[in-house]
Structure 1
Amino acid sequence: MAVAAPRTVAETDAPPSGGRPGLTLIAVCFGLFMVGLDSTVVHIANPAIQADLGASFGELQWIINSYLLALAVFLIPAGKLGDRFGRKRLYLSGVAIFAVASVAIGLAGSVEGVLVFRALQGISAAMLMPQTIALLRATFPREKFGMAVGVWGGVSSVAIAGGPLVSGLLVDSVGWEWVFHINAPIALIGIVVGALVIKETPKVVEGRLDLVGVVLLALVLLGVVFAVVQAQVWGWGSAATIGIFAASAVLFALFVRVESRVEFPLLPLGMFRSAGLSVGGVVFVANFFAMLGVTFLITLFLLNTLGNSTTRAGVLMLPLSAIAIPAAPIGAMLTAKVGARRVAALGLVLMAIGLALLTQVDAGTSYWRMAVPFVVIGLGSGFAIPSGADLIVGGAPVHLAGVASGFQTTCIQVGGAIGTAVLSAIIAAKVAPAVLGAGLPESAQEAAAAGVVFEGLPAVSDAFVGGLHVGLVVAAVLCAAVAALVMVAVCEPARHDVATVLEETVEGSAGDL
């Protein structure tokens, strides 16, 4: 099959408008590094936050999900606002708000305060992320844009991979608050450098912002995740749980109706005629359902069940996160050689195998029986990301490629939020009867669901590990099912070169518009 010409948003942009490309790249990497770091540091810090502030198991989930949901909901609107009001302005504003929210999390002194400022972190991350790649596109000449994309992806990968270790060191040495406070000096330097070297881009006004679509999508996402999390307390068959799910379904139908009629929709429905784009979105949902959901539970297992220090837990998690650094470029090369369809399916199958292998791990097994599956899962995820991006961004019409990128990043956040909620619900359902059977008060269920060991009551810990295994099986089955869907539903799309696949991956990760 002939290699298709690259199809990216950059082709439709105006020529670079001057500025200092190298310095601009350095400037946007400060904001990028903060967001990448905060996507993984919180998992290691969560048990310390729970111990200090008395957070419930459900609140621990919301510390992660409030960030993911805010980022998912505001990502596409923030990209459009950058076009309207200036990308430099919105980027620097996002960095500043992210820093303020980070400091406020450490000073909040209550779980409610942490949740509010975590959501604000998510909003500010949505403000700055689309602008990073847009500023690079506006500054770098086309022939050097691929190099900038490589640096962008490298900085993001290093930040994500180093998050657990950085978090462990900070929690052990100066307290969990510094997991967030560390963003302040990074942001301060980034704002000063950005203000001096970034050149503002021309403002683009293209139709009205679909505020009704934004509100409806926000309510749908919030409703689904809230119902899954609260079902652990209310029960899956309760009127409240069923009512919220039903209301979310009605709101989603209304969202589809609005998007089909509004002149400038938030999410043009016509682009979903492409099977590759639609299934590519499912690839990202399944990928991050497994990655973020399992990471949340494995971290609790390492810290609370096995009793590791936060620093040691961060080191033990490195095989899962650090493998992403070489895996994504390898996945891009494979995508260019054999096609996105096969590589996406291969990546998800590898994830399913790694997740299945993890079910052999319990409190008494060797760490190496955990480390090898970590590498397999991370490698599979690294393969699925660039191939999924090629299905989505490469499969979209040129004029909708930017919106497709935003759709991709929304799928990442939604998949992570739902994965965390669903797998946590499985754990909670598994430990509840064990806690009552052991004669412990009902209030002990929260600690048991977080993997805390009760001396002399091994049945409770066994229930947590059993719930972890069930969650791993659910994630593995989902990945395997989506791999089959990719092979059945998607015709092999035109193959792009490695540089184009990497560019699509970066644009999708930034939610670029």
Structure 2
Amino acid sequence: MAAVITPDPRRWWALGALVASMLTLGFDMTILNVALPTMAEELGATTGEQQWMADAYVVVFAALMLPAGLLGDRFGRRLMLVTGLGVFLAGSVAGALAPDVTWVVAARAVMGVGGALVMPLALSVLPSLFGPEERSKAIGVMSAASALGMPLGPILGGWLLDHFWWGSVFLVNVPMVAIGITACLFLLPETRDPASPKVDTVATALITAGLGALVYAIIEAPTRGWGDPVVAGFLAGAVVLLAGLVLRERRAPRPMLDMELLGHRGFLVNGLTATLVTFVLAGLLFLLPPYLQAVLGHDALGTGLRLLPMMGGLMVAARGAQPVVARFGPRAVVSCGLVVLAFAAFLGSRTTVDSGYGFTALWLTITGIGFGFAVVPAMDGALAALPADRAGSGSGLLMTLRQVGSAIGIALLGSLLASAYRDRLDVTGLPARAADTAGESVVAAHLVAERTGAPGLAASANSAYVHGMGVVLLVCGVAALVAALIAGAFLPGGRTAPDDGDGTPAMAEPDADVRQ
């Protein structure tokens, strides 16, 4: 029988501590993207190195989220949450003081470890603070904090870059994390779930190494070529490692990564849709800042502000998705959202060097609307399709899939952009070393143009970058259309009720939490 929870008078203050933690993670999802062009200029980072600066965090985050949640269940959620915030703090300080690209990538990976601990555990402590009648409100506040960090991240990052050095985008985390740690120590009760599965270290190693190998191969392919032995070897290694993960988890009596959940059609189709949308969003947030800064000539703060149409469209659509779903059903709304997303991508692919920001703002707004109407019903539908006793493992798997989509989106779409840019760039007359540098990124090409006075190089770089961005957007549009067809064909027409796999309504399991 579930334990009766006595309302803690400090619970809303404790929620404030968790909100600070989630807001910090929300910032970190987008704040670095605005800083990448500046970091590329000051650190001499190639497009591939910029991809690693973004992806190091996401790959580690995705790989460790499930085992991190289990560590909290077994050793204490408050303890592991504070530990995660401490690790995130250490990574932020290391990133701010990093002398080169390698150290930035390492610091981002450390931050990914901290983020993996914070995200699932911040949500898992809510049942110990709030009863059923208040829990949905608390979850809504937490979700809003995480979502609010996305549009605020580029603006805050842009302001910091206009006034301080690039390391300030890392250092801004320090005061918020310090507040979060202090508040968690004094306000959060300690909870555990002794019945949770043990952390499978072999499975954790397989997913981390497999994802890392896959992302490395995709990022290196434009430079080395897909037939290069190193790229082919890492791709093969990724396939073997991830296949080994699937086999191990399918045979485990209590798997950490519950593959059987993918047998629920509603969860599978909705989960793939949400993953694809995250794939596209991550790719766009990677390619847009260099376009706005290097090609259109805006400063960092101006770039952050000019990303708001997409964020605004996303948040408005996300807020309005539920009433529309209630009226027309999730299949229609998800499919239409994906069609709108595809239309926005195809429209954006028509961008030219002379289009100006007005045209960009138009397709960014439509993009955000398509995102919102696709991803919110898809995530709700994925979790609604699960039996009640699998909701926890299902939400963990869904979050992991979305982070994997984000990592692959940055790697694959960023590599496609780099390849198209390099093929179109005109470096005629440049020394070999300068030509190689110009081919690394549009920011590098502008620097080479300034230093060498090469006529037409900056214009060629702008044209090549916009061409590459158009190719990426075409791919995004086709992918969104394919997803719309899949959603229209396989999603149920009405609301999906959770079941136990045999068509009967699911029964919730007793609460296994032990409160200290």
Instruction: State the secondary structure of the residue aligned to 2:294.
Output: helix
| Aligned-partner Cα distance in 1 for 2:115–2:318 | 22
1:128-157 deviations in Å (ceiling 9; x for gaps): 111111111221110111211221122122
Q: Is 1:375 the counterpart of 2:365 in the alignment?
A: yes
| Aligned-partner Cα distance in 2 for 1:49–1:442 | 19
| Aligned-partner Cα distance in 1 for 2:444–2:399 | 29
| Aligned length, in residue pairs | 486
| Aligned-partner Cα distance in 2 for 1:208–1:298 | 42
- Structure 2 partner of 1:489: 490
- How far residue 492 of structure 1 moved from its aligned partner, in angstroms, is 3.0
Q: Which has the larger displacement, 193-202 or 112-121?
A: 193-202
- Structure 1 partner of 2:456: 456
User: Alignment partner for residue 438 of structure 2, among 439, 444, 459?
Assistant: 444
| Aligned-partner Cα distance in 1 for 2:374–2:300 | 29
- State whether residues 385 and 496 of structure 2, in contact with CA within 8 Å, keep that contact through their aligned partners in structure 1: no
- State whether residues 158 and 301 of structure 2, in contact with CA within 8 Å, keep that contact through their aligned partners in structure 1: yes
| Aligned-partner Cα distance in 1 for 2:444–2:50 | 9
Show the 5 A alignment for 1:260-275.
260-275=250-265
Q: Is 1:16 the counterpart of 2:5 in the alignment?
A: yes
- State whether residues 136 and 145 of structure 1, in contact with CA within 8 Å, keep that contact through their aligned partners in structure 2: yes
| Aligned-partner Cα distance in 1 for 2:227–2:200 | 35
| Aligned-partner Cα distance in 1 for 2:258–2:44 | 44
- Unaligned 5+ segments in structure 2 are 450-454, 499-516
| Aligned-partner Cα distance in 1 for 2:443–2:468 | 9
- State whether residues 300 and 450 of structure 1, in contact with CA within 8 Å, keep that contact through their aligned partners in structure 2: no
Instruction: State the secondary structure of the residue aligned to 1:308.
Output: coil
- Structure 2 partner of 1:7: none
Q: 1:204 to 1:332 in 2, by over 3 A?
A: farther
- How far residue 45 of structure 1 moved from its aligned partner, in angstroms, is 0.5
- Unaligned 5+ segments in structure 1 are 1-11, 498-513
Q: Which residue type is aligned with residue 89 of structure 1?
A: L
Show the 5 A alignment for 1:239-278.
239-278=229-268
- Structure 2 partner of 1:399: 389
Instruction: Give the root-mean-square deviation of aligned CA atoms.
Output: 2.0
1:49-101 deviations in Å (ceiling 9; x for gaps): 11222212111001110011011000011111111111111111111221121
User: Alignment partner for residue 157 of structure 1, among 142, 147, 155?
Assistant: 147
Instruction: State the secondary structure of the residue aligned to 1:367.
Output: helix
- State whether residues 300 and 451 of structure 1, in contact with CA within 8 Å, keep that contact through their aligned partners in structure 2: no
Instruction: State the secondary structure of the residue aligned to 2:439.
Output: helix
| Aligned-partner Cα distance in 2 for 1:237–1:248 | 16
Instruction: State the secondary structure of the residue aligned to 1:403.
Output: helix
- How far residue 200 of structure 1 moved from its aligned partner, in angstroms, is 1.1
Q: Which residue type is aligned with residue 257 of structure 2?
A: L
| Aligned-partner Cα distance in 2 for 1:216–1:336 | 41
- How far residue 470 of structure 1 moved from its aligned partner, in angstroms, is 0.6
Q: Is 1:470 the counterpart of 2:471 in the alignment?
A: yes
- How far residue 203 of structure 1 moved from its aligned partner, in angstroms, is 4.1
Instruction: State the secondary structure of the residue aligned to 1:102.
Output: helix
Instruction: State the secondary structure of the residue aligned to 1:323.
Output: helix
| Aligned-partner Cα distance in 2 for 1:133–1:85 | 16
- How far residue 493 of structure 1 moved from its aligned partner, in angstroms, is 5.2
Show the 5 A alignment for 1:134-213.
134-213=124-203
| Aligned-partner Cα distance in 1 for 2:91–2:74 | 25
- How far residue 237 of structure 1 moved from its aligned partner, in angstroms, is 2.0
Q: 1:262 to 1:449 in 2, by over 3 A?
A: farther
- How far residue 36 of structure 1 moved from its aligned partner, in angstroms, is 0.3
Q: Is 1:416 the counterpart of 2:406 in the alignment?
A: yes
| Aligned-partner Cα distance in 1 for 2:152–2:497 | 31
TM-score normalised by the chain length of structure 1: 0.90
1:454-493 deviations in Å (ceiling 9; x for gaps): 4523333322211110100001110110111111122235
TM-score normalised by the chain length of structure 2: 0.90
- Structure 1 partner of 2:320: 330
- State whether residues 230 and 241 of structure 1, in contact with CA within 8 Å, keep that contact through their aligned partners in structure 2: yes
Q: Which residue type is aligned with residue 401 of structure 1?
A: A
| Aligned-partner Cα distance in 1 for 2:238–2:378 | 27
- Structure 1 partner of 2:375: 385
| Aligned-partner Cα distance in 2 for 1:133–1:289 | 23
- State whether residues 293 and 419 of structure 1, in contact with CA within 8 Å, keep that contact through their aligned partners in structure 2: yes
Q: Which has the larger displacement, 25-34 or 186-195?
A: 186-195
| Aligned-partner Cα distance in 2 for 1:182–1:85 | 30
- Structure 1 partner of 2:330: 340
- State whether residues 157 and 324 of structure 1, in contact with CA within 8 Å, keep that contact through their aligned partners in structure 2: no
- State whether residues 19 and 142 of structure 2, in contact with CA within 8 Å, keep that contact through their aligned partners in structure 1: yes
| Aligned-partner Cα distance in 2 for 1:477–1:414 | 20
| Aligned-partner Cα distance in 2 for 1:207–1:100 | 29
Q: Which residue type is aligned with residue 336 of structure 1?
A: A
- Structure 1 partner of 2:503: none
- State whether residues 224 and 231 of structure 2, in contact with CA within 8 Å, keep that contact through their aligned partners in structure 1: yes
| Aligned-partner Cα distance in 1 for 2:193–2:308 | 42
| Aligned-partner Cα distance in 1 for 2:463–2:194 | 58
Q: Which residue type is aligned with residue 108 of structure 2?
A: R
